[in-house]
Amino acid sequence: MDFHILRQQGLSIRKIAALRGVSRNAVRRGLRSSAPSTGTRQRAKGIKLTPFAGMIDAWLSDPVTAQWTTERIFDELQDRGYDGGCTVLREYVRPRRPKPPVMAEARFLVKPGQQVQIDWAELGESPVGGVTRKLYVFVAILAWSRTLFVRFTTDMELLTWLDAHHRAFMFFGGVPSEALIDNLKTGVIARAGKTVRWNAKYEEFAVAMGFRPIAHFPLRPKTKGRVERIVRFVRQRFFVGRKFSDLEHLNADAEAWLKKRANRRVHRVTRERPCDRFTVEREALSAVTNYDLFLEEQRISDAYALVSFKGVRYSIPAQYARRPVTLQCRTDDVRFLVDEKVVATHPYASSGVHLMQSPEHLPPKPEPRHERFHKLACVIVEHFGNVGERYVAAVEKRAPHKPLAVLREVLEREKEFDRSVVTEGIECLLRLGLIKHGILSTWCYRLGTPPNLPPISLADLPKVDVEQRSLAVYDEVSP
């Protein structure tokens, strides 16, 4: 900085500090020094560490103590009287620590039809069908021919994982002997060393397709390096900057790209086109077997005959409300089974839709109240004639709290008593002007003839077997 020049021009220290945007002490330090100021203080580093430099170098040259971390070296120095910081120690050790020798990688060779390497990759968020969602790509590559298959999805769930496998095998026209995968939960539930506990559904799928799954060791992605490298190839050569409307459009473009570009390029390692080598490898693949791909879960429908699944409620017929239901997830739709019988099928709900209800699943609408009243009135008039007609008119005129219950009460008492008794009771209520639910029943039970119950014979009574004991048993009892 030109502090000296500004000072010679007669400017004060305060004015120089304001012009250059520094403190006044910085201006004073610059004026005291003959060298140009750098704007930062020059401090001596490692002064406290200097007496221990030889000891640290000896530790780093020893093959055993060279494995010590900087924190371990810091602890050892503190025991020997070092009172400096750890940061300066770390800066001293970093360039002096011996680096492990770089070892050459051994290339893994396979036979035609022996192995397919499979991996997932996340592509970030993109608009799919007008909704921004996360996109993933399933990548499978035949290890010998380098024939590539890709499938874009919006999730990495088990059903999508199995469906992508099946589509890859259909694209290749066969199934290789083994599949090398990562340690994802849709494939590997748990592992201890070389012992792997597979996902039950994935293991069932592997047995049905006829391939042996292999999971590489954790934190060792180079084991399936062929597919690890191809993920970046797919992202850079196909996905970045591509316009698409939905997943079907994107996957159709991807399949055309595979046939036209990806599998027709000259591979950097094999110096051949994957499509040419695939003509040899195809003969070594086993045939793709038919496999009914679905997942099942148990649910209980609610009072409205709706079953909740992934935040969406799907309807089933009304008669299956509040019942256990088997939910069957397939690649294109979701089905609901009761007693192993399909009772409803729905396509998967679009993003933002939370209810999928079919009109035929709605319960029948209840009959209007006036129509039910009219039907009951016609029956009463038919049974009781003019008396019944006057009673219906009185019920309709006075509009009691329960008009339907008042009319049903007449038919219920008719089943228990003679029609003449009920007719007499209705006439009595009409004279008194008592039109209320329960009064006719009280009149019939108190003043009417008791209902004639069917006679009961001895043969209708239940037979009770009583054990016959001898009275001599009581004589043996001592007083």
> Do 306 and 371 have their domain in common?
no
The pLDDT tens digits of the residues spanning 259-302 come to 999 999 999 889 999 999 999 999 999 999 999 999 999 999 99
105 part of a folded domain: no
Confidence of residue 218 (pLDDT cuts 50, 70, 90): confident
> Do 180 and 266 have their domain in common?
yes
Confidence of residue 435 (pLDDT cuts 50, 70, 90): confident
Contact between 313 and 321 (Cβ < 8 Å): no
289 part of a folded domain: no
pLDDT of the residue at 479:
55
The pLDDT tens digits of the residues spanning 313-364 come to 999 999 999 999 999 999 999 999 999 999 999 999 988 899 999 999 988 8
> Do 357 and 413 have their domain in common?
no
> Do 396 and 259 have their domain in common?
no
Q: How many domains does the chain have?
A: 5
Last residue of a domain, one of 325, 344, 361: 361
pLDDT of the residue at 194:
84
Q: If you average pLDDT over residues 99-105, what whole number do you get?
A: 77
> Do 17 and 123 have their domain in common?
no
Residue type, 244: F
C-alpha dihedral sign at 426, 431, 432, 435 = positive
Confidence of residue 39 (pLDDT cuts 50, 70, 90): low
Confidence of residue 196 (pLDDT cuts 50, 70, 90): very high
> Do 271 and 139 have their domain in common?
yes
Higher pLDDT, 433 or 151: 151
Specify the residue for token string 């009892």. Answer: 477
Last residue of a domain, one of 361, 381, 403: 361
Specify the residue for token string 């020094």. Answer: 33
> Do 475 and 381 have their domain in common?
yes
> Do 21 and 50 have their domain in common?
no
392 part of a folded domain: yes
> Do 406 and 446 have their domain in common?
yes
Last residue of a domain, one of 251, 284, 317: 284
Range of the domain at 407: 366-479
CA distance 193 to 214: 13
Q: Give the CATH number, domain containing residue 256.
A: 3.30.420.10
108 part of a folded domain: no
Percent of the chain with pLDDT over 70: 93
**Alpha carbon of 172 to those of 82, 150, 404, 465: distances in Å?**
66, 12, 71, 80
- pLDDT of 455 > 70? The answer is no
> Do 146 and 219 have their domain in common?
yes
110 part of a folded domain: no
> Do 209 and 120 have their domain in common?
yes
pTM of the full structure: 0.64
106 part of a folded domain: no
> Do 26 and 58 have their domain in common?
no
56 part of a folded domain: yes
